[in-house]
Amino acid sequence: MKSPSYPARRTALARIAAGSLGAAALFSTFRASAAARPDVIRIGVAQPATGTPPTFAGSSLSIAHAKGWFEEAFKSSGTRVEWYFFKGAGPAVNEALANLQLDFALQGDLPSVVARAAGLKTRLVLATGVRSNIYIGVPPDSPLKTVADLRGKRVSLFKGTNMHLPALRLLEANGLSDKDLRLLNLDTAGYLAALSTRDIDAAIGAMDILRLRDKGAVRVLYSSKNQSPIYTRQSHVLVTEEFAGRYPEATQQFVKTAVEAARWASDESHREEVLRTWARAGTPYEHWKEDYDGEPLRVRINPNFDPFLIARYKDAAEQAYRFRLSRSRFDVDQWIDPRYLNAALNDLSLKSYWPVYQPNGKILGA
């Protein structure tokens, strides 16, 4: 479980932007570079690894990690696979990417949008861990009943993560902005502790809130489960343009292995094993079961950038700029690179395996 050191970031993004390959040059060198093999592939994960043995949760990549599938896929080429885990979530992953310490990253939408807008040259190659729910927890005897009641209250939010934008969307839908709240930037451990000691009035978070609910220390004010999917969190796997340009064959193998993992993990016959594997990272199995109850695995463990997910990323890029979380606009269609994913889906005969959703979140054809 390695943790890279981080030099100052002030020149890092500019260095990446200046030194990266353009998209056309990247793929025009595919044949010439196909024989090249990296000595190591460095994968960053925007969450800590915990448990015994250490693992992380909530995506098909976490299943591939637990089973050693990437290591096996690159064994014959002699390429090592190294995993890096970041308690600081997406912003910490951005620092490592900017300092040339990672090749691939599992990350949420907002932090990668911010980095791309700042000039970090990456490509989104597949989705994973999509439509993850958000929860709002309050003390059990709190007078707060609705999201609108949060006005003027002390509310925690892990800023800069993929929790940030759906939270702002939810507030906006209830007539609020972040300026209407006394918003505090706390990570998971911080907001759970602050809720327990009543140092805050509410926390916008993930399934971790259910731990305090089960202890009678928290009441769930809101959950995005069974609500509009625009209030859910989205994640993906990205690759640096530099790595993909230098090692296109290894990039293709990585994506194919990730798709194979998604196929296995989204098979309903594996539901029990998937949820129990994720539970090793610290969130109880019962909470995973509750969160996923009534929802096919293929919905959440889906590698495709379908019209719904593309719309969510375009919305994320626009909202990040509007809320002054990013410095510029950019073309999301050029950022999402489906070529590796499409090749893997064709090779594995999985083009029609996962459901396709419209921008409004409804299944295509429904």
Q: Which of 34 and 321 is assigned the larger pLDDT?
A: 321
pLDDT confidence of residue 366: 56
Does pLDDT of 25 surpass 80?
no
pLDDT confidence of residue 232: 94
Average pLDDT over residues 51-62: 90
Q: Using DSSP bridges, classify how beta strands 235-240 and 104-108 pair: parallel, antiparallel or unpaired.
A: antiparallel
Q: Counting Cβ atoms within 10 Å, is residue 100 exposed (0-12), middle (13-18) or buried (19+)? A: middle
Does pLDDT of 69 surpass 50?
yes
- The full set of domains in the chain, from first to last, is 12-130+234-347 (3.40.190.10), 135-231 (3.40.190.10)
355 preceded by a cis bond (ω within 30 of 0)? no
pLDDT confidence of residue 160: 87
Structure tokens, 43? 């994968």
- At 54, the pLDDT band (50, 70, 90 cuts) reads confident
pLDDT confidence of residue 365: 63
H, E, C per residue of the chain = CECCCCCCCCCHHHHHHHHCCCHHHHHHCHHHHCCCCCCEEEEEECCCCECCCCECCCCHHHHHHHHCHHHHHCCCCCCEEEEEECCCHHHHHHHHHHCCCCCEEEEEHHHHHHHHHCCCCEEEEEECCCCECCEEEECCCCCCCCHHHHCCCEEEECCCCCCHHHHHHHHHHCCCCHHHCEEECCCHHHHHHHHHCCCCCEEEECCCHHHHHHCCCCEEEEECCCCCHHHCECEEEEEEHHHHHHCHHHHHHHHHHHHHHHHHHCCHHHHHHHHHHHHCCCCCHHHHHHHHCCCCHHHHCCCCCCHHHHHHHHHHHHHHHHCCCCCCCCCHHHHECCHHHHHHHHHCCCCCCCCCECCCCCECCC
Q: Counting Cβ atoms within 10 Å, is residue 54 exposed (0-12), middle (13-18) or buried (19+)? A: middle
pLDDT confidence of residue 242: 97
Does pLDDT of 34 surpass 60?
no
Q: What is the pTM of this model?
A: 0.86
Residue 85 and residue 22 in contact, taking contact as beta carbons nearer than 8 Å = no
- At 15, the pLDDT band (50, 70, 90 cuts) reads very low
> CA triplet 298, 221, 218: central angle to 5 degrees?
100
Give exposure, 104-121, as e/b (b: 16+ Cβ within 10 Å): bbbbbbbbbbbbbbbbbb
pLDDT confidence of residue 35: 59
Kindly give the interhelix angle for 164-173 and 307-322, rounded to the nearest 10 degrees.
80
Could you read off the pLDDT of 111-135 as tens digits, one per residue?
A: 999 999 999 999 999 999 899 999 9
Distance, in Å, from the CA atom of 117 to the CA atom of 307, rounded to the nearest integer, reads 22
Could you read off the pLDDT of 208-230 as tens digits, one per residue?
A: 999 999 999 999 999 999 998 88
Give me the amino acid identity at 15: R
Q: What phi, psi does 17 have (nearest 5°)?
A: -60, -40
| Least confident range of 32-46, 252-266, 325-339, 348-362 | 32-46
> CA triplet 240, 119, 330: central angle to 5 degrees?
100
Strand partners, 44: 84, 105
Give me the amino acid identity at 53: P
